[in-house]
Amino acid sequence: MEHLAVWIDHVEARVFNIDAANVEALALHAPHHHVRRHPRSTAEHAHPSDSEHFYHDVARSLAEAKSVLVLGPSTAKLELMRHLHRHDAEIEKKIVGVETVDHPTDKQIVAYARKYFVAKDQMLGRS
């Protein structure tokens, strides 16, 4: 796997293995929030370990890549980066960019990532 793009929010991560001709996609889903059944509160909350497991699963899906582009609309992409910094430094080194994008379709993600990787490869002198 040369180039991977991961689009992530707090609900799911979509990982795309991208080469010149093909795309392989993988979807990972975050654990559901737990509803607290307390007479005074019905607020949803997530267990901290749930998020860590989710980010660990995403990190594991990125392990074989040579370069990774991280995309997403909100803070989940930054939380993934913090997770990689704390737990997966070797994968963190493979991150070539972190970009804010809203909720694109899979085709839009692939087109964005291809354009990004072509420009990055040209800048680094790779063909």
Mean pLDDT, residues 71-92:
96
Q: Which of 99 and 118 is assigned the larger pLDDT?
A: 99
Count up the domains in the chain and report the number: 1
- Domain range holding 79? 3-123
User: In the Cβ-directed half-sphere of 41, how many Cα atoms lie within 13 Å?
Assistant: 6
CA dihedral 32, 59, 112, 93 (to 10 degrees): 150
Given a cut of 90, whether residue 34 has pLDDT beyond it is no
Q: How far is CA 32 from CA 7, 27, 50, 103, 107, in A?
A: 18, 15, 9, 19, 26
Share of the chain above pLDDT 90, in %: 69
CATH code assigned at 97: 3.30.420.60
